[in-house]
Homo-oligomer: A and B are copies of this chain.
């Protein structure tokens, strides 16, 4: 018998408990040993639950119980999760977590502690909820060098953008609806400002390229500035606006990493990822593009990924898994200097001058909308370097300008 403790009994934690308890036969079968939930750490009162006897408020009881071989941390946040996870690893327990904030900010350190204590630290559920992505990336793509990872990593923002695109709903209304449907939290900042997607691309970049990428190294922009006008211009250009997280390896060993609303060509399969779905494209040197797609959040999708990690730990109680990366360093993440296309909206009270300066600068450009009602021009540029783009843009006679990248 293998004893498991669950730290936290929120949405994901209760899902983990239910899967482990209600499907115990199926899961124990897969492990070839019985899995028992021995403790659930939670300060709130759950004395009405059928498994009420498992609850404890005392972390010391868990960390000091030698029977407990595997701990699932599903509390979220850095404190006290970080302290708890560290102590469990040092106590010789394998830890699995769905906590992206923890992994994105402390992953390298916790992986090293796990290595030194010969236990596992797994976190499949921290990216893409129930979508298998970290394990396939590490394992099935073992024969590849990964060039880049690009994805829609946040379901809340994808739902909101989709409502704007398909139903012409404005941002605030779409956000309210997302809250109503349980797709956005009461305080949606982490989602709509891109922090959640940023943490996930940090984890993906760390695993793909072998060095820890910290959230403060990644340029992060949310979707609060995306307007219905942008959505409609994009649509007329045959693009859809998505919050894209992207990282790629440069030949010199540095990497780029960024989160930003991006115009995705309708010919790119990511433009068809709608609603609360997530999708991650991994580009390997042998496989080319491989995409993983599914619901990126939710109680049971996420819980099933946590349970899959628990099963994996249970099967490898005394052997180490393949997950690891080194610590990163300042200056490891740099700006992308490659050629890309841009979406630009330039506005001016002197519309005729704007048009004239645009026609002079971007005369070859086929894709543009001159909106006289709003005194603005919207256009998509050809692919070009940042420096030529900046030079061209400086010629535009405008009062206000908005720029997004495109993805073909």
Chain A contacts to B: CB under 8 angstroms:
15, 19, 23, 26-27, 30, 124, 129-132, 135-136, 139-145, 269, 272-273, 279, 284-295, 298, 300-301, 303-305, 307-308, 311-312, 315, 322
Contacts and interface: CB of A to CB of B under 8 A. Distances in A.
A273 to B, nearest CB: 7
A135 B139 contact: yes
Nearest to A31: B142
Contacts of A145: 23, 26
B140 A286 contact: no
Contact of A132 (B27, B140, B286, B300): B140
Given A140-B136, A143-B19, A143-B307, A301 B272 contact: no
Contacts of A289: 294-295
A307 B142 contact: yes
A143 B292 CA distance: 18
25 contacts: A26-B145, A27-B142, A27-B143, A30-B142, A129-B287, A130-B286, A132-B132, A132-B139, A132-B290, A135-B136, A135-B140, A139-B308, A141-B304, A142-B312, A143-B305, A269-B293, A285-B300, A286-B300, A286-B301, A287-B301, A287-B305, A289-B295, A291-B291, A291-B292, A291-B294
Given A140-B135, A143-B304, A130 B295 contact: no
Q: Report the copy number of this chain in the oligomer.
A: 2
Contacts of A312: 139, 142
Nearest to A283: B294
Contact of A286 (B19, B30, B288, B292): B19
Given A19-B143, A141-B304, 4 more contacts: A132-B290, A284-B304, A287-B294, A287-B300
Contact of A288 (B27, B130, B144): B130
A147 to B, nearest CB: 13
A204 to B, nearest CB: 15
Contact of A23 (B26, B143, B292, B315): B143
Nearest to A315: B322
Contacts of A273: 269
Contacts of A300: 285-287
A140 to B, nearest CB: 3
